[in-house]
């Protein structure tokens, strides 16, 4: 029967199986990140069969470099998505909530349980927004050190040390 015939039978079975699902399972939305094999393209017919069987199907984002997708689909379709040819892995999405208990101290707004002048002068009734974005990238990190490496042959920049004697130029 070959791959084409077997693939059609698989897709037909998939569509029929999903059509017989209970409505309670079909109502729940799930976000999934399927990662695809670089050696095999995900058959568009297979993706259409998932679309046909999922009330909440939506492609949210395509990750072309890592050959992945961000999909919104019904929860009941997740296991079937994992079984499609060319799908290496499916990672269900999860909602992460911010958990912080020491932000005020970290920002210097509270010391020893008391407001600092920065906090009291913020005029909280004037719609003040305080934000801190931590990218996790730190120039002093081990991953940026180039000890033992010379200056790259094509590098034409200068290293401005300023007035900081501890500064190390990372070319």
What b/e readout covers 67-103, taking b as 16+ CB neighbours within 10 angstroms? bbbbbebbbbbbebbeebeebeebeeeeeeeeeeeee
The tens digit of pLDDT for each residue in 49-80 reads: 777 777 777 777 777 777 777 888 878 777 88
Residue 6 or residue 138, greater confidence: 138
**pLDDT of 87:** 80
Domains and CATH numbers, the chain: 8-92 (3.30.70.80), 97-125 (no CATH)
């Amino acid at each position: 029967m070959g791959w084409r015939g077997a693939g059609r039978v698989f897709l037909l079975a998939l569509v029929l199986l999903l059509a017989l699902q209970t409505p309670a399972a079909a109502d729940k939305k799930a976000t999934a990140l399927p990662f695809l094999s670089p050696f095999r393209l995900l058959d568009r017919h297979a993706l259409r069969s998932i679309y046909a069987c999922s009330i909440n199907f939506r492609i949210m984002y395509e990750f072309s470099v890592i050959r992945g997708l961000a999909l919104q689909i019904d929860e009941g379709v997740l296991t079937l998505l994992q079984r499609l040819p060319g799908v290496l892995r499916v990672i269900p999405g999860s909602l992460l909530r911010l958990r912080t208990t020491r932000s005020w101290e970290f920002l210097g707004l509270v010391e020893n349980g008391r407001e600092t002048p920065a906090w009291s002068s913020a005029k909280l009734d004037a719609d003040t927004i305080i934000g801190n974005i931590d990218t996790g990238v730190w120039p002093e990190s081990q991953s940026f050190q180039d000890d033992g490496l010379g200056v790259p042959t094509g590098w034409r920049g200068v290293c401005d040390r300023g007035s900081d004697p501890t500064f190390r130029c990372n070319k």
